[in-house]
Amino acid sequence: MATGKVKRRDVVDFLNQFKHNGLDVGILMYTYVGDSLSIVLFQNTSRDMPTMEAKVGISKQNLESLMQNCNLYISQNTAENAILPRGASIEYQDRSALGLDFKKANKLLIPFKYSISKFNHLIIVPTLNISSLPFAAFNIKRETKIIDLMSVSTHPVFLKYLFLTKKNTQKEDMLKT
């Protein structure tokens, strides 16, 4: 009898369901363990390489600070164009430093730009405060944002979903025998 653990093959099988419907979907999964951010790209566009991996050494505090600065950068950009009530003002941080952090996060979190650019849809499975980022705003090419090429969704409980689906399938199989 199979165990209830989710394996890489389970993720690829999930993606193949989309492939049968003519959609190229990728899953970008982030995990953080022991001062290291692991990034795994699952794709259904290639038989030879269903996954790509990158690992980056970064402290939890630095990663969370980087994500916070990215959100400040994006929100300040929006706030500059907002209509403010009379007498109200917005206190800005140095946009150039925040912009550098945004570019750094773009490079750190989207390492497989060429492979990702082939998808119709990208599912983000975040960790820590990465889920607070608007991934659609990241650049995938010099002047092209992810949202210009595909739709994006964030699924923080994706592995739990796969685990429960697999567990239910196993119970159904046991009942049939």
**Contact yes or no for 24/50 (Cβ under 8 A):** no
Query: pLDDT tens, 69-79?
Result: 888 888 775 55
Q: How far is CA 132 from the centre of its chain?
A: 10
Summarised one tens digit per residue, pLDDT across range 106-162 is: 899 998 888 888 888 999 988 888 888 888 888 888 778 899 999 998 887 776 777
Residues in Cβ contact with 72 at an 8 Å cutoff, skipping those fewer than 6 apart: 93, 98
The Cα 113–Cα 84 span in angstroms is 38
Which alpha helices (H) appear in the chain, and where do they start and end? 8-19, 60-80, 95-109, 113-116, 146-149, 158-176
The pTM assigned to this predicted structure is 0.74
CA distance 165 to 168: 5
The whole-number average pLDDT for the span 11-33 is: 82
Distance CA 54, CA 123 (A): 17
Distance, CA of 106 to CA of 35 (rounded, Å): 19
Q: DSSP string covering 30-77, please?
A: EEE-SSEEEEEEEESS-SS-SEEEEEEE--HHHHHHHHHHHHHHHHHH
